[in-house]
Structure 1
Amino acid sequence: MMTKLFWGALSATLTLLSSGLLLETPAMADSSREASAEGGNPHGVTTEANSLPMGGETTTAVGLEQSLATMPEVEPSAEELIAEMEQVTSVSQLTDVQPTDWAFQALQSLVERYGCIVGYPDRTYRGNRALTRYEFAAGLNACMDRISELIAAGTADLVKKEDLLAVQKMQEEFAAELATLRGRVGALEVRSATLEKQQFSTTTKISTELITYVADAFGDRASPLNNANIGHRLRLDFDTSFTGKDRLRTRLQATNLRKFNVGDVFGVSPVGRATSDLSDETRFLATSTSSNSEVTLNRLQYRFPIGEKLTVFLDANTIDPSIVTDPITPFNDQATGALSNFAQINPVWFPLGNQAGVAVNYAISPNFQFDFGYQAEGGSPNDPQLGLFNAGYSAFAHLIVYSGTFKLGFFYMNSYSPQFGVDTLAGSNAAKILGAGPVVGNGYSVEFDYRINSWFELGGWVGLTQARTLGTGTRGDANVWNFALNLAFPDLGKKGNLGGIVFGMQPKLTGTSNAAVATVIGLPEGQREDRDTGYHIEAFYRYQLTDNLSITPGFIWLTAPNHDSRNPDAVIGVIRTTFVF
């Protein structure tokens, strides 16, 4: 009798499990919970400054990532699950089990004959949900405890011939299922081997980023013009790691983005530029000049660590400080951050024309980091005056202070440019200091960012560029200021979304030392600085549709474009779509 009870309970248990219940691995259980969780997976802004070795857009050494993070979910122990469940003595106690259910008879047998089925505290059995290995262990433990009690109370031989035959019969009954399982495992092994043979590279990872813009300009003098802008930028990154800690990035890029055709609105262009070469106040991306969708080499960078505190960057193509040090702003990512070039990063950081250089990150301590670098100015490859040390350059140093969720940065840059002045692809035309010959610049900025709580972040910067012109007959000094205040709302509406508001002043020429400098850079006679002060107001909302796709509507409002109140306000409406994988 006792052995029949043993094999009967075991048979009923296996029948119930094999008739449709899924035994999950812990990884499958995690995936199931994440898929059912409201809001899905979080999507943070990944930058090159906080991913090693093969991550997103920028990289620094140890200590850059100081934002709030949620603790990972702790897998419950078997003891916790068993403690949560309660023994039931009748199948009627399970409120979600009906006599019409296909497994009703098996449940009734296990509950009422053997007393080894437990339910949740709310008196539900949840028979349609997947079964984790922990829950299976809890249920099996209850059944085995009950069977042990029955066996301990018996006196007959525990194993008889008919019992062995019953076991053999069960093995034959489940032979088809076991064969199917073995076949699936074999097929997975074949597919895995095929993927290993056909993969692109064992050391190189390919990632793709596609940004599209639909935008238009509105205003008293902008609206009559044909300003509709439909553009794109496509990037392919080939990231190769030789040691697991280094990264060689080769980037191919194609774009057709352009500025808005509102030159007659924004005032006088600087000397040497046609009136159709328009104000950079309307520029979306600083690094994207239109190439008529032709594929070009945009970046060739190798970075590697030396010890635990030092990271070295070697660049042979376009480069700027934001690629090799933390810009201390939540909006820097060009694909998922702010819409405009100005709102993404302090313009002092972005001198035009840098083509190669070297940079170093040094983590002094968990609270202090010091980054510095040297960048050569590019130009025509046939110009003998250009090169790593023969022509223009910029050298920067950046001290970063971390304290919990607060970051503070002090930035300095010294530059010399024979052709680009202090053009940062933002601000008024006069603030570029073009046309007065070679220009020496000293740039200073202070940036901060404070993650006040999980849903609100406050930051901003103030920047000053002191320029000295060296042209014959046009020697003099000029000062250019800019500032911005950022309000960020992470996970607005759901995880992965981002709301943003930026209020600031794009680079403005606030004074020149003599009339000759003012005249040659394009100011009217008698005027030594930008006429008025215009403000930049921007708001956007990034909605994360999936892990790979986001849509960002927003607007850019320019008061007194070109820092000239005679120009009416201009509003740029934008819808950006970003696809990354």
Structure 2
Amino acid sequence: MLISNANADQVHPADYAYQDLDAYIEPTADQLDQVTSVDQFSDVQPTDWAYQAIINLAEIYGCVAGYPDQSLRGDQAITRYEAAALLNNCLDSISEVTDEIRKLIYLFETELALIRGRVDGLEARVGELKAMQFSPVSKLKGEASFMMGSIKHGGDVSDNIAGQLYSTRQDAFHMIQSLRLGFKASFTGKDYFLAQLRTGNASNSAFNTFNPATPFYKSTVPLAALDRAFTPVGGDNVFNLERMYYKFPLGNDFTITLAPKIMNMGLWASYPSAYGVRGDYILDYFSSFGTPGVYNKAVGAGGAVTWRSKAGNPFMTSHWLATVNYLAISGEVSGESGGFMRDQSRGNIAAQFGYQSPLYGLVLGYRYGQNGTDFLQGTKTTTRHQSWLEYGTTSDSHSFAVNAWWRPQETGWIPSLSVGWGVNTLNNDDVSDPTYNEYDRGVRKVSESQSWMVGLQWDDVTGIRDSLSFAVGQPTFATALADGSTPDDGNYIMELWYRYPFSNHISIMPGLFYLSRPYGQLTQGRMDTFGGVVQVNFTF
């Protein structure tokens, strides 16, 4: 065996030491003979672990040389001389291959010139696109939604309070639209910035989200509001700044969110549901996962600190999560009517803790609502900006939520299951509600309310990334009144819809929904609401 201490620039035979002179005779480089077949080696057998590699080197590339005694000596170390001789053989073979490649280049010279010209043209076009791109760190994303359909009220709408709130215009078949434009950017590769504009024309639609500027007795059925229906501040088709926030990592496990304008939903560590995972819903209520006291879609200024146990290991698919956030609905207003951490802030202080994996999850949520902050859609007597929590009240609220979900390992005919339950307690200073002067029938403020939902979703039912979904629940309804009387405020809500992916950027969603008693305690007798809608979404 040879042990070399030679410097690469000064190779000398005297630098080698031999361990066994009787058993080994050092060959010189010119004694290594190139072979073209593995059969020329007397000591190479098909059972040798490197047999196939030796065949390739000898017969295809001519890079193997043997000793004069027709042996390869594969288990023996080589000297630098031997390595140099073998490398020289390989280089000679490569030169031969190169000559063949030169012949091919000559034969296909015209075709290669055409390809080269096309590549040069593509490079020029790429250069133009880079020069004209919006920003090297930013993207402009858009979503447009067309919604067409109508709702129909059943029961006796003439001889009850709910009937007096009902307007015949709500029965008309009509079409509305919503448009979002989001400017997304990342400056470090780990942070995230979003500025989003939005417009729509739902102010006079039966599918309207509740407009606080509309008098209570002229407003539409709030629970019929579509998730994508939008009423801009300032009137239909006016662009509003809907979101602006910035997220960045703090160490390996934490994320900080700072937001001059953000929705409550954007401050959470997790969307605690498998229902509508692509952001697809028909009714606005179900986008709150059945717990609108905690996930109430309030909009304002605030921030969050989020922790995920997977942050230090991006390959983890299951992890614990927690977040603490604060959002002030009047946080952007200075003076006596707004600001942070004041009675006038209408603040939301919230927390979330849970565990999630690709197939299941369990998340607990809590929100403290200061000074009459909003609730999401509920029965008419508990809807946001109305009844139990009117502007100017000093009532505070505590909301609790439990959400769990499960997905099948393989999509198809087994649906995912999502459940959510929420409870809210309110500290009302007054037991009467002055907002019902015109239609007051003994309605009083609420001290406790609840909500829940169960959602089933069949993803990829036919193998084309489609979805079939059904959900049922009870939006926020009173379970205890501040004056000690017993409420009668129940209402059931259901939706059924199918999402058909017409293309990668267009989806069509026909859907039906039903409200058993949308005005809750104001309903005397029977009054229900049935609706149908076709929603077409475009992403670009």
Both structures adopt the same fold (TM-score exceeding 0.5): yes
For structure 1, the residue ranges without an aligned partner over 5 or more in a row are 1-140, 149-163, 264-268, 516-526
After superposition, the C-alpha distances for 1:407-451 in whole angstroms (9 at most, x for unaligned) are 001111101134x5x431333324551348222000001000011
Match of residue 380 from structure 2: 428
Distance change >3 Å, CA 288–CA 467, structure 1 → 2: farther
1:4-43 equivalences in 2 (<5 Å) = none
**TM-score under structure 2 length normalisation:** 0.68
Structure 1 residue 342, shift from structure 2 partner: 0.9
Structure 1 residue 385, shift from structure 2 partner: 2.4
Of 150, 173, 181, 1:228 maps to 173
Question: Is 1:190 matched up with 2:133?
Answer: no
Match of residue 467 from structure 2: 498
Match of residue 437 from structure 1: 393
1:54-453 equivalences in 2 (<5 Å) = 171-220=105-154, 225=169, 226-258=171-203, 260-261=205-206, 273-285=215-227, 288-290=230-232, 291-332=235-276, 336-345=279-288, 346-351=291-296, 353-364=298-309, 366-378=318-330, 381=333, 384-390=336-342, 391=344, 392-402=346-356, 405-418=359-372, 420=373, 422-430=374-382, 432=384, 433-435=388-390, 437-453=393-409
Structure 1 residue 501, shift from structure 2 partner: 0.6
Structure 1 residue 199, shift from structure 2 partner: 0.9
Aligned partner letter, 1:454: E
Secondary structure, aligned partner of 1:328: coil
After superposition, the C-alpha distances for 1:63-82 in whole angstroms (9 at most, x for unaligned) are xxxxxxxxxxxxxxxxxxxx
The separation in 2 between residues aligned to 1:284 and 1:262, in whole angstroms, is 6
The separation in 2 between residues aligned to 1:477 and 1:453, in whole angstroms, is 43
After superposition, the C-alpha distances for 1:147-178 in whole angstroms (9 at most, x for unaligned) are 99xxxxxxxxxxxxxxx999988655422111
Structure 1 residue 347, shift from structure 2 partner: 1.1
The separation in 2 between residues aligned to 1:321 and 1:168, in whole angstroms, is 64
Deviates more, 1:436-445 or 1:362-371: 362-371
Secondary structure, aligned partner of 1:417: coil
Secondary structure, aligned partner of 1:316: strand
Secondary structure, aligned partner of 2:519: helix
Aligned partner letter, 2:504: D
Query: Do the aligned partners of 1:557 and 1:571 also contact (CA within 8 Å) in 2?
Result: yes
The separation in 2 between residues aligned to 1:175 and 1:271, in whole angstroms, is 74
1:408-557 equivalences in 2 (<5 Å) = 408-418=362-372, 420=373, 422-430=374-382, 432=384, 433-435=388-390, 437-455=393-411, 456-471=415-430, 478-514=447-483, 528-529=486-487, 531-557=488-514
The separation in 1 between residues aligned to 2:107 and 2:410, in whole angstroms, is 55
Query: Do the aligned partners of 2:178 and 2:229 also contact (CA within 8 Å) in 1?
Result: no
The separation in 1 between residues aligned to 2:102 and 2:190, in whole angstroms, is 55
After superposition, the C-alpha distances for 1:267-304 in whole angstroms (9 at most, x for unaligned) are xx999943112232111128833440111111110000
Distance change >3 Å, CA 325–CA 278, structure 1 → 2: farther
The separation in 1 between residues aligned to 2:416 and 2:406, in whole angstroms, is 6
Deviates more, 1:320-329 or 1:293-302: 320-329
Aligned partner letter, 2:516: T
The separation in 2 between residues aligned to 1:254 and 1:447, in whole angstroms, is 31
Distance change >3 Å, CA 355–CA 417, structure 1 → 2: same
Structure 1 residue 453, shift from structure 2 partner: 3.2
Distance change >3 Å, CA 364–CA 147, structure 1 → 2: closer
Distance change >3 Å, CA 473–CA 253, structure 1 → 2: closer
Secondary structure, aligned partner of 1:195: helix
Secondary structure, aligned partner of 2:336: coil
Structure 1 residue 382, shift from structure 2 partner: 6.7
Distance change >3 Å, CA 461–CA 169, structure 1 → 2: closer
Query: Do the aligned partners of 2:176 and 2:229 also contact (CA within 8 Å) in 1?
Result: no
After superposition, the C-alpha distances for 1:319-360 in whole angstroms (9 at most, x for unaligned) are 203553312113356x74121111122312344653110111
Distance change >3 Å, CA 178–CA 483, structure 1 → 2: same
The separation in 2 between residues aligned to 1:337 and 1:170, in whole angstroms, is 56
The separation in 2 between residues aligned to 1:570 and 1:376, in whole angstroms, is 34
After superposition, the C-alpha distances for 1:385-423 in whole angstroms (9 at most, x for unaligned) are 2112222101111111235611001111101134x5x43
The separation in 2 between residues aligned to 1:414 and 1:468, in whole angstroms, is 11
Greater Rg over alpha carbons, structure: 2
Query: Do the aligned partners of 2:141 and 2:181 also contact (CA within 8 Å) in 1?
Result: yes
For structure 2, the residue ranges without an aligned partner over 5 or more in a row are 1-54, 63-97, 158-165, 311-317, 434-443
The separation in 2 between residues aligned to 1:388 and 1:147, in whole angstroms, is 76
Distance change >3 Å, CA 480–CA 383, structure 1 → 2: farther
Distance change >3 Å, CA 286–CA 393, structure 1 → 2: farther
The separation in 1 between residues aligned to 2:259 and 2:213, in whole angstroms, is 32
Secondary structure, aligned partner of 2:121: helix
